[in-house]
Structure 1
Amino acid sequence: MLIKASLNYLHIAPRKMRLLVDAVRGKRAVWARDFLNFRIKKGALPLKKLLDSALANSKNNFNLKEEEMFIKEIKVDEGPKMKRWRARSKGRAMPIQKKTSHVTILLEDKK
């Protein structure tokens, strides 16, 4: 059975989130939660909360055990960019983009 949870408009660049996502893709959900608990990256806490949400969905909605769940698919998509201006020398301004991410996780029970 597939369990889905998603996190939208996360204020972390997709490139930085993919570093964490690639490390937990295909792993057991309990192992991934412990792994993310000890990461120093900024995106580790939101990703751990998303994984906890997906595990809670599996337990409450389908009566599945956390130990049997593994991460079947996890993806990071690019969200909208907030465009801002940074002051530079000689009265000029340069554009900067504050990037956002959409993270989607699919869990499946191993049977």
Structure 2
Amino acid sequence: MRKKKKTEVYALGRHISLSADKARRVIDQIRGRSYEETLMILELMPYRACYPIFKLVYSAAANASYNMGSNEANLVISKAEVNEGTTVKKFKPRARGRSFPIKRPTCHITIGVKDISLHDEYGQIYSLKKPRWKNKYTTMVYHDMYSIGGVWDKK
């Protein structure tokens, strides 16, 4: 029986003090992109969720280079998912001896990287994600306020 070679490596972050919806906003931007492009995106995005995700992507790449001997230039983010974790519940004192519940959500983030230099069992090479703004049907139209034919063109 032939043993399949493992081509995907994971990094798992558990109980990260962050809402799952806020983490998904960042994760959706990096899914399917190359490792270097992902690091650039995460450094430039202005969200608080970027730092723990950056650390997980870096850890997944380190796992791939250590376990499989992969080059970081050949890595692609193949799996990126966010699940809700436990909610930390505390009580804060309020006026007149009342208490107010504080809920701190946590999440579990899984990052999977795949080496595109290795072929999977179907012989398929995974392509990088194409940017959304690069569409062949998009045309830019510029309007000049002086050439519209308004009050200024009458002589």
What are the equivalent positions in structure 2 for 1:22-101 lying under 5 Å apart?
Answer: 22-101=28-107
Unaligned runs of 5+ in 1: none
- Name the structure with the higher strand share: 1
Report the secondary structure of 2:46's partner residue.
coil
2:136 match: none
1:104 match: 110
- Structure 1 residue 90, shift from structure 2 partner: 4.8
Identity %: 28
Q: Distance in 1 between matches of 2:115 and 2:109?
A: 20
Report the secondary structure of 1:63's partner residue.
coil
Normalised by the length of structure 1, the TM-score is 0.91
CA deviations on 1:61-111 (whole Å, 9 max, x unpaired) are 111111111111111111111112234455433322100111001111113
Give aligned pairs, total. 111
Unaligned runs of 5+ in 2: 1-6, 118-155
The correspondence for 1:3, drawn from 1, 9, 20, is 9
Normalised by the length of structure 2, the TM-score is 0.67
